[in-house]
Amino acid sequence: MHKHKSSININKIANDRVRILFDTALLNEDNRDYAAYCISEMRKISSHHRIKLSRSVKDRFCRKCNSLLVPGETAEVRILKKGKEILYKCNRCGTKKHIITDIKQ
């Protein structure tokens, strides 16, 4: 089945909007409330339109409070298991996020 032309246009607009909101959040990381608002809106749009966020985007914000995870400012960073795992702890809400790296030694 082919998608309707209008649904393709809507998905393109939603993809563009998600990218713009994430870039805006990165540019305004000093204004933490506005950056969290941009991340929140980005997540709402991506969820509503079923847009998968890339791993590099998902790893940059807290899933609980939507704040950007900036090492040393809004997040504490720990390297675990000889560099195979990174632990981010959000300074705003305390949520921990484990990221597995692909580095092979």
* Cβ proximity of 36 and 68 under 8 Å: yes
Per-residue confidence band for 3, with pLDDT thresholds at 50, 70 and 90: low
- pTM equals 0.83
Token readout for 8 is 């393709």
CB atoms within 10 A of CB 18: 20
CB contact set of 100 (below 8 Å; sequence gap of 6+): 84, 85
* Cβ proximity of 27 and 70 under 8 Å: no
Query: 45 pLDDT exceeds 90?
Result: yes
Query: 5 pLDDT exceeds 90?
Result: no
Which sequence spans correspond to the domains of the chain?
5-100
Rg (CA), the chain: 16
Query: d(Cα 89, Cα 18) in Å, to the nearest integer?
Result: 25
